[in-house]
Amino acid sequence: MIVMKFGGTSVEDEEAIDRAARIVLRRLHERPVVVVSALAGVTDSLLAMSRAAASGRIQEALKSLRLLRRRHLAVLDALGKGPSDSVRHDVQTLLDSVQDMLRGVAALGELTPRTTDHILCAGELLSSRIVSAAVAQHGIDAALVDSRECIVTDANHTNAVPFFEWSDERLRQRLQPLLLAGRVPVMGGFLAATIDGIPTTLGRGGSDFSATIVGAALDAKRIEIWTDVEGMMTTDPRLCPHARRIDVIGFDEASELAYFGAKVLHPATLIPAIRKNIPVYVLSSRQPESKGTCIRARAPRSRTTFRAIAAKAGMKVVNVKSMRTLGANGFLRAVFEAFERHGCAADLVSTSEVSVSIVLNSSHPLDGLLGDLAKLGEVEVEEHKAIICLVGKDISGRAGIAASVFETIAAANINVHMISQGASEINIGFVIEEDDVPEAVRQLHQRFFEMKPSSRAARLPAGELGMQAFSQRISARTEVG
């Protein structure tokens, strides 16, 4: 069997949904399970209306909900006679329940992460209902499956972590009989539930993760991520028009890219695929015949120094300067313990004997953490930062590469706040101002992907400007919490 996941833009309207259904039709002989995202923009819109309701703007929230209702019903209308009255009824009922929840949020003036998940789930419940009807119109025996009954997570609402063993068991029990009966299960990505059946979501962009959770549970031959770009590219094509499709990439490199901001994959997507060694393909639903990118355990050497560049904006740098009362080791331990206590994950870490700089996502509330850190030393927070990460398996042990990265950045007059070479030795990451991201990515892409090898060699700095020159400032990437 295979898993086919269609992202938001691949099911954004009736035309896209019909295209997706035809793609499924062509793979029928491979026994697909279909995983779908909400229609493009729906999760953002559900989130915005929840926040509006919580801050007393219920009329604004209800107006947005009316637009959302109209959009989903219009898609059903455009799909023609096929979808029965029961589909229309289900869509209306789901949207009615969102309306009730929004009124509840407005009455309480409070939006908890648990309620957020209840509301966000509606996006994928709606899309899976509609896509299963569209798939059935092509004569496919589609079976709508509720992901909340199959994927079990912890109760960390809006960013829940799956329990693989329970999920594997439930997914097998629910999906295998359908596949054996020749049916095509269609399920919403992104949503799941706790062991008590309370709805959860897997973090923004989480449908990719759902697809690999399903694929690993059923030992899929392959997992396909159908999206709006040709495949995984050498950088985000929205930042750099010269970005090129990568043919084959290793799990390790693709994981680093996803973690450091390549939005085409949710950061955790590859974990289940690696566990079962299942290849993941990134494919374009607009050009279904194109080759896409294959992500697998082993990939041929890259012809370029790096495989790709990722950028992650919306970061904060927390600097803590030690009071020298704990000693260097005690100080670092206490800092990381504070991060763990507050459930904060550090993306990059750089240390010296007397200070530590930690980069983390700025959406995380920091009040409690900063209070604890203030007991350990002087704390300073820098906002609006971004991480740029260059990933390549072949950089390890090669002199001069880091120097040419920073020479390029310096030539663009961009200030670097912090540097880190990944502990995995396959990436070089550094922190810059958020506003500098487009220019930095374009310049680095030009330097490492668009220059001919001869002109590249001419720009390599002398040996003494190699990795060693940066080693004092470079430290391992660590994950906390």
> Which spans of this chain sit near ligand ASP (rule: CB under 6 A)?
7-8, 37-38, 43, 123, 189-190, 204-207
Give the contact letters, 16-45, x = binds to ligand ADP (CB under 6 A), - = no.
Answer: ---------------------x--------
Q: Which residue from 476, 452, 461 is spatially nearest to 408, judged by alpha carbons?
A: 461
Q: Which residue from 286, 211, 232 is spatially nearest to 11, judged by alpha carbons?
A: 286
Among positions 291-350, residues that touch ligand ADP (CB under 6 A) are: 308
Stretch (H or E) spanning 144: strand 142-145
- Contact between 297 and 357 under an 8 Å Cβ cutoff? The reply is no
Shorter beta-carbon distance to ligand ASP: residue 206 or 466: 206
Task: Point out which residues bind Mg ion (CB under 5 A).
Answer: 7, 205
User: Which are the contacts of 65, defined by CB distance < 8 A and separation ≥ 6?
Assistant: 49, 95, 98, 99, 102
Indicate left, alpha or beta for 327 from its phi (over 0: left) and psi (-120 to 50: alpha): left
Q: How many CB atoms lie within 10 A of CB 110?
A: 11
- Contact between 304 and 401 under an 8 Å Cβ cutoff? The reply is no
Measured from each CB, the residue nearest to ligand ASP is 207
Stretch that binds ligand ADP, among 16-24, 27-35, 233-241, 391-399 (CB under 6 A): 233-241
Which of 8, 123, 392, 400 is close enough to bind ligand ADP by CB under 6 A? 8
Which of 2, 3, 4, 10 is close enough to bind ligand ADP by CB under 6 A? 10
Which of 17, 264, 270, 283 is close enough to bind ligand ADP by CB under 6 A? 264
Shorter beta-carbon distance to ligand ASP: residue 227 or 322: 227
Stretch that binds ligand ADP, among 72-80, 92-100, 256-264, 443-451 (CB under 6 A): 256-264
Shorter beta-carbon distance to ligand ADP: residue 144 or 246: 246
Measured from each CB, the residue nearest to Mg ion is 205
Q: Please name every residue paired with 301 in a beta bridge, in sequence order, or none if there are none.
A: none
Q: How far from the centroid of its chain's Cα atoms is residue 143's Cα?
A: 27
Stretch (H or E) spanning 406: helix 401-411
Shorter beta-carbon distance to ligand ASP: residue 212 or 420: 212
| Cα→Cα distances 320→119, 269, 309, 359, 365, Å | 38, 33, 29, 12, 17
**Per CB under 6 A, 162 contacts ligand ADP:** no
Alpha helices in 5-149 (DSSP H): 14-26, 42-54, 58-78, 85-108, 113-137
**Per CB under 6 A, 408 contacts ligand ADP:** no
Show the beta-strand stretches assigned E in 362-444: 377-391, 418-421, 427-433
Stretch that binds ligand ADP, among 6-14, 80-88, 316-324, 460-468 (CB under 6 A): 6-14
Which of 229, 268, 402, 426 is close enough to bind ligand ADP by CB under 6 A? 229
What's the min distance (Å) between Cβ of 257 and Mg ion? 14
Distance CA 196, CA 160 (A): 14
Q: Which does 238 bind (CB under 5 to 8 A by kind): ligand ADP, Mg ion, ligand ASP, none?
A: ligand ADP
List residues near ligand ADP by CB under 6 A. 7-10, 37, 205, 227-229, 232-233, 235-238, 257, 262-264, 308
